[in-house]
Amino acid sequence: MSGRAGAGDRGSRGEPGRAEAGRAEAGRWPELEAALAVVNRDVRATLTLPGREPLILMVVPDPDGFDGDQVYVAMADGRSHGNPVHSDDLEEGAEPEPGDAAAVLTVVAEAAQETLMELLWQVWPLCREHGTGMHPRPAGTSGEWYPGETAAVGPPVWWCRGGRAGDCHDASLIGELADTLPGKERRALRRRGRR
């Protein structure tokens, strides 16, 4: 399946003269695929996508062959928004994907969030307690944490800034948002999964 971002989308991936973007070949990006499968569990648990198809990885080839392929998290129809989750402009001898699974999961979760929010025009995911948007972070971080801080060592979670009282908290491990659903919604999700 191939697709392009809509003509009016910022970050459009279908500029004239560019090589055609297409769905990533299965097995080519195993760490990214594994991370996207985890994120898609959260999408399936908390959001109804058009056609109910999961997010996919899209590859945009470099038309000149100098910078390498770029991989994006996209809707099933190929539309995406934001930065690539991997740029294939590797130094000689470098691994094709980052070796840190937590970093890969965080980057893929951020990319999925950006694509969903921009293309569906809604905040995702929402904290069930505060009704505010959440962001991927290492577990146990405070409100003062910033990306790149070396003291962050926990697994990736969906983090909520909290309400007016500043009661920030880790809402769920990424991939486990279904566990935060009320019992009735959790049971309905399991029934859908069996079909």
Q: What is the pLDDT of residues 133-179, one digit of tens each?
A: 999 988 887 777 766 666 667 799 999 988 777 788 888 999 988 88
Tokens representing residue 29 in the block: 């990006």
pLDDT over 70 (residue 121): yes
* pTM for this entry: 0.78
Q: pLDDT at position 179, please? A: 82
Model confidence at 15, pLDDT cuts 50, 70, 90, reads very low
57: left (phi over 0), alpha (psi -120 to 50) or beta: beta
Could you check whether the bond before residue 125 is cis, i.e. omega within 30 degrees of 0?
yes
175-186 confidence digits (pLDDT tens):
988 887 777 666
Q: Give the sheet arrangement for strand 134-138, strand by strand.
A: 134-138, 156-160, 169-173
